[in-house]
Amino acid sequence: MTSLPPDPTPGVPVPALIVTHGRLGEALAGAAQAITGPLEGLLTMSNEGLSRDQLVALVAERVAAFGPRGGLVFADVLGGSCAQAALAAAAGRAPGPVRVLCGVNLAMVLDYLHNRTRLEPAALADHVLARGRQAVQLLEAKTVEPGSTT
Amino acid sequence: MSVALVRVDDRLLHGQVLIAWGNALDVERYLVVDDALAASAFERTLVESCGGSVPVEIVGLAEGAGRLLALEPRPETVIVLVRGLPQALALVRAVRAAGGRLEQVNLGGAHHAAGKERVHDYVYVDAADRSALAALHELGVRVSVQDVPAATPFDAPASWGARVA
């Protein structure tokens, strides 16, 4: 396994924003907090009630606060307004590199929280994406023959 | 079926349209009629990529009617999107001027913005919107308010529209 490049500013969490429909982002952050503890540096926002332009402006504002180091934006539906706004903000006036990860799930948020102080943003994005994909599985109970002792 | 839905939505192509309406109508093409989007190469690329396997066309208002009428006879199911009521009115007028018919518009999302007043959960209007809505009514266009297919549609009441002096 190839080792990932370490964060040049170890110990400082890479900032992130979860932008979703409804309260999904808030719920994901809440579930993650219940598992890992405090979540400083992780923001959430909903697209509820926002026009396209308003959503892009608000995401851009939060992404600008990431600073020159950059950070991650998690979005929910591929092609949805949140993902579009995240991409537009990342490509716009962001002061640092911003990686947009779509299809956010709890495994991705947890992986981000576990690794955000040891990996720089690009490597962290790759790591989180891999973990998120790995977490989506069809689970099947093993068939056990009646009377089997194994 | 060809043009299955002409929708007013200030988010244009987004989750509600792609997932809810796209699946409900089994859409085969999106036509986004919007000057701002058509003028931005980056935004066009962004929105065109949203359709997945469903093609997304983006044209300005001046070309919208012609493109809509060109798609009309084709067997594929098309959803047409415009950003607001004034743009819907412009499209209706252009389609009719070109000899086509456009009798119904879906009002699916007109979110809050400065100077807009709430008339429904997801419908906020300003003077230009009211004027456009009144003009659509005068043209006999049915403006059906419905954000997602599972919601019960209703006609936009005349009280939402008002002539601006």
Q: Best residue in A50, A52, A93 to probe B by mutation, most B CBs within 10 Å? A: A52
Three-state SS for A41?
coil
Which residue carries 């981000």 as its tokens?
A112
A81 contacts on B by Cβ (under 8 Å): 11, 14-15
Is B111 within 8 Å of A49 when comparing Cβ atoms? Answer: yes
pLDDT value at position A1?
Answer: 44
Q: Average per-residue pLDDT in chain B?
A: 94
Strands A98-102 and A71-75: parallel
**Higher pLDDT pick, A37 / A135:** A135
Tell me, what's the pLDDT at A93? Answer: 73
Least confident of A7-21, B12-26, B32-46: A7-21
**CB-CB: which of A51, A77, A88 is closest to B19?**
A77
Cβ separation B42–A82 shorter than 8 A: no
The token pair at A124 is 């962290």
List of domains in chain A: 16-134 (3.40.50.510)
Give the model's pLDDT for residue A143.
Answer: 62
CB contact under 8 A, A50 and B111: yes
Mean pLDDT of chain A: 89
Q: Choose among B12, B19, B122: nearest Cβ to A52.
A: B12
Comparing CB atoms, the residue among B10, B50, B112 nearest residue A79 is B50
pLDDT of residue B86: 98
How far is the CA of B125 from the CAs of B108, B109, B117, B146, in angstroms? 13, 11, 5, 16
Asked if B13 and A79 come within 8 Å (Cβ–Cβ), the reply is yes
Least confident stretch, A42-56, B78-92, B131-145: A42-56
Q: In this predicted model, what pLDDT tens digit does every residue of A93-121 receive, in sequence order?
A: 778 899 999 999 999 999 999 999 999 99
- Start-to-end Cα distance in chain A: 34
Write out pLDDT tens, residues B124-165.
Answer: 999 999 999 999 999 999 999 999 999 999 999 999 997 554
Q: What was the pLDDT predicted at B162?
A: 77
- pLDDT value at residue A77: 93
Smallest Cα–Cα separation from A41: which of A68, A71, A9, A64?
Answer: A71
pLDDT (average), residues B62-87: 95
Nearest to B42 among A50, A51, A91 (CB): A91
Smallest CA–CA distance from B53 into chain A, residue: A79
Highest CATH level, class, for B3-160: alpha beta
Q: In terms of DSSP H, where are the helices of A5-150? A: 24-36, 52-64, 81-91, 106-115, 121-134
Domain ranges of chain B: 3-160
A vs B, Cβ pairs < 8 A, gives 53
Position B22 scores a pLDDT of: 95
Overall pTM surpassing 0.90 (yes/no) = no
